[in-house]
Structure 1
Amino acid sequence: MALFKQLDEQVERLLALFKKEDNWLIIINADPDALGSAMALRRIMARKVGNIGIAQINEIKRPDNLSMIRYLRIPTHKLIPNLAAQYDKFAMVDSQPHHNPEFAPFKFSVVIDHHPLLKENPVEADFVDIRPKYGAVSTMMTEYLYNMDIRPAKLLATALMYGIRCDTKTFEREFIDADMAAFKYLSKFADSKLMNRISRSEFHLDWMRYFSRAFYNLRRIGHGLYAHCGKVANPDILVIVADFFTRVHNVPWVVVSGTADDRLVVILRGDGLRRDMGKMAQSLMNGLGSAGGHKQAARAEVDVADLDGEDPEIFMLKRLGQGKATIRRI
């Protein structure tokens, strides 16, 4: 029995796109899975195209992401017009073009992702590989490397392994056999000491005040929890706070919100049993801004200006309280 599924047809179609005269930019919304996947795609493109770059649309401030970039030597840069102008072909991993308005100016030739497909937002590209059942795109990229007989070097293997670990939350979230197989396969080549060093760099000391705000504003809504953190330096802080609250006993879902760069950002986490967080995010926004994700993890964003002057926390409480759910402070 083969270790991974055969991708002969996909590999042939993907490699056919790479020409020596083309310059490719891999655009991501940077997190560990996206960073590892971008490194893998860059390795696949190596010596097949003229030039390869990696650019992220978001400002990277999470300590573990910064450590990952530093220790694994990931050459990513903030996406700006002058950088994009140097490239004529664009690829995307761990996202779909409709996920963020900053993707809109680009015509993507390659899209590889594991987020759910939406009928109202079909993905158009020369090469599209979207597998919602996979726990991580890093797993998909490991399969491509294996099918191309490319043995991942230490830093690449560590990046992919860490991407799988983060997106599956060390296999606490939904995953399939391929995720486990990829994690085991990569462990033969990865550096466990580097991985531990990265994973232990989760918090900035000055982020503790956001936890304090979250505890102060914590509310029980029905069976779930909601906390508003106010204005935050970076939306990644909300992810960390939300993940922390998922550890509370007998709480099936958590919503944490805050504002950053004049946008309301909402992070949703669930146990995957009672409510679908992706659907919940879309329901909360009801057409405002962008919303979506998986059954256990989702995100929504909307410009504060689109709230018609309403306080972001009050806006969220009203949306979460629809259906006469009981709301009380903890």
Structure 2
Amino acid sequence: MPAAETLRDLLSEGTALTIVCHNNPDPDCLASALALGRIAAAAGVDERRILYSGEISHQQNRAFVNLLDVDLESLDPEAVRDRADGSLLAFVDHGVPGANNRVPEGTPVDVVIDHHPHESIDARFVDHREDAGATATILTEYVRDLDVEIDATLATALLFAIRRETLGFLRGATSAEYAAAAFLHERSDGDLLRQLVSPAVSGATADAIATAIENRSIRGSALLSNVGRTNERDALPQAADYLATLEGVETAVVFGIVEDAIQLSARSTDSRVHAGDALDEAFGDAGSAGGHREMAGGEIPLGIFADDAADGEKLGSLVETVVTARLADASGWRKRRARRERARSETSAR
């Protein structure tokens, strides 16, 4: 039986569907949740809700929720774990309880649809495609294959999500993304799409990006930048996107302290560096980290690096020292830098 039909049949067994987004959800996660909700409605599931935890602070994410009128609720971990019989639980754009979400570890999951790397996923229905450029691509296929009614709002949401996740079809895009975009294009709202692409940027976000640019440290083809303490979590991936475009830079990692955790965002075009593996190797034992070859992120509890008494410049300095050392060890940048320095020395000697 085709995967889309298998998913529909499973959904039709439930009396309700809870769709959990990952922490601080982005357009790919939100659009996928919207599409899965539409599929569930078509399958006869009357009660549907989309839950999230963290913040929606990136200006594009806020515009996405507001312009598309996405109905979101805060996640209550215990309520999700202890949900009523017949209530199905679905993850989109993430796959494991407790990893980039606040769902208690070991909670049974019914549906997982994702394109991020995972070692193991346990659910009744799993569509895990690491080669897909976006989770929204997979949901677009389901909507099309099941002939689910798609209005301009959903089409625009999915199209924008695919565009954003692949950086305008320049990062990780496959023929499936182009096929999905072709299907969605004629059904989407062009004016709404333009508003989502170019939302207003807050002054605080611009300041955080400026700090990342000012504090950049380039080591060979790798760039590291510490923005210090900030409330603008989503400025980190924006800064990483920009800094990765600098001449000579193949890998950029931006990190900072947000509330009680260290947030990291990495971008890489270096074929020798898998950004997700590098962050996981560096910080997997201390928090949650990982992602794709070209883009990755991480969140590490601040207590791992400093005692509660540390603050201000002392804390910032300690975080930078530990993060930089771990990244260098995990990625092999230190070894490659040493080889380059030896080569330059030998050339000078000759």
State TM-score, norm by structure 2.
0.85
- Distance in 2 (alpha carbons) for counterparts of 1:166 and 1:228: 25
Work out whether 1:27 is the aligned partner of 2:27: no
Contact between 2:77 and 2:104, CA under 8 Å: does it hold in 1? no
Compute the displacement of 1:125 (Å).
0.7
Aligned equivalents of 1:83, 1:261: Cα separation in 2: 25
Q: What residue identity is the alignment partner of 2:20?
A: I
Contact 2:162 2:177 survives alignment (8 Å): yes
Q: Residue type matched to 1:283 in 2? A: E
What SS does structure 1 have at the residue aligned with 2:298? strand
Q: CA deviation at 1:110?
A: 0.4
Residue 126 of structure 2: which of 116, 119, 128 is its match?
A: 128
Deviation, structure 1 residue 16: 2.0
Contact 1:227 1:257 in 2 (8 A): yes
Using the alignment, how far apart are the partners of 2:16 and 2:56 within structure 1? Answer: 24
Of residues 143-152 and 33-42 in structure 1, the stretch that sits farther from structure 2 once superposed is 143-152
Match of 1:38 among 33, 36, 42: 33
Contact 1:21–1:50 at 8 Å: present in 2 too?
no
Are the equivalent residues in 2 in contact too, given 1:266–1:301 (CA < 8 A)?
Answer: yes
Alignment CA distance shift 1:305-1:51 (3 Å): same
After TM superposition, the structure 1 = structure 2 runs for residues 3-18 of structure 1, keeping only pairs within 5 Å, are 8-18=1-11
| Deviation >4 Å, runs of 4+ | 81-87, 324-327
Partners of 2:141 and 2:337 in 1: CA distance: 47
For the Cα contact (< 8 Å) 2:221–2:250, is it kept in 1? yes
The equivalent of 1:3 in structure 2 is: none
How far did 1:276 drift? Answer: 1.0
In structure 2, do the counterparts of structure 1 residues 262 and 244 end up closer, same or farther at CA, with 3 Å as the change threshold? same
Please name the residue that 1:313 is paired with: 320
- Displacement, 1:212? 2.9
Equivalent in 243, 246, 253 of residue 245 of structure 1: 243
Q: Match for residue 116 of structure 1?
A: 117
Q: Among residues 121, 145, 148, which one is paired with 2:143 in the alignment?
A: 145
Question: Matched residue pairs, number?
Answer: 317
User: Mean alpha-carbon deviation: is it higher for 231-240 or for 123-132?
Assistant: 231-240
Which deviates more, 184-193 or 83-92?
83-92
For residues 111-165 of structure 1, what are the alpha-carbon distances to aligned partners after superposition, in whole Å with 9 as ceiling and x for unaligned? 00011232xxx11111011000000011100100111012421000000001100
After TM superposition, the structure 1 stretch with the greater mean CA deviation from structure 2, 165-174 or 104-113, is 104-113
Give structure 1 stretches of 5+ with no counterpart.
1-7
Structure 2: runs of 5+ lacking an equivalent: 308-314, 339-350
Match of 1:256 among 233, 249, 254: 254
> Which residue matches 1:89?
88
SS of residue paired to 1:73: coil
Q: Which has the higher contact order (CA 8 A, sep 6+)?
A: 1
**SS of residue paired to 2:248:** coil
Is 1:76 matched up with 2:76? Answer: no
Q: Which residue of 1 aligns with 2:205?
A: 207
- Partners in 2 of 1:243 and 1:160 — Cα distance? 22
> Shift of residue 9 of structure 1?
2.4
Cα displacement (A) at 1:179: 0.6
Alignment-derived partner of residue 343 in structure 2: none
> Which residue in the other structure is 1:61 paired with?
57
One-letter code aligned to 2:31:
G
Counterpart of 1:208 in 2: which secondary structure? helix
Question: What amino acid sits opposite 1:56 in the alignment?
Answer: Y
RMSD, aligned α-carbons: 2.1
Given that 1:134 and 1:176 are in contact with CA atoms closer than 8 Å, whether structure 2 keeps it comes out as yes
- Larger radius of gyration, structure 1 or 2? 2
Return the match for 2:45 from 22, 45, 49. 49
The one-character-per-residue Cα deviations of 1:14-39 (angstroms, maximum 9, x if unpaired) are 12222476221110021010111111
| CA 1:272–1:24: 2 relative to 1, 3 Å | farther
Q: 1:221 touches 1:325 (CA, 8 Å); kept in 2?
A: no
1:61, 1:234 within 8 Å by CA — same for their partners in 2?
yes
CA distance in 2, matches of 1:211, 1:18: 43
Please give the alpha-carbon distance, in whole angstroms, between the structure 2 residues aligned to 1:46 and 1:272: 43
Q: Report the secondary structure of 2:256's partner residue.
A: strand
- Cα distance in structure 1, aligned partners of 2:261 and 2:175: 38
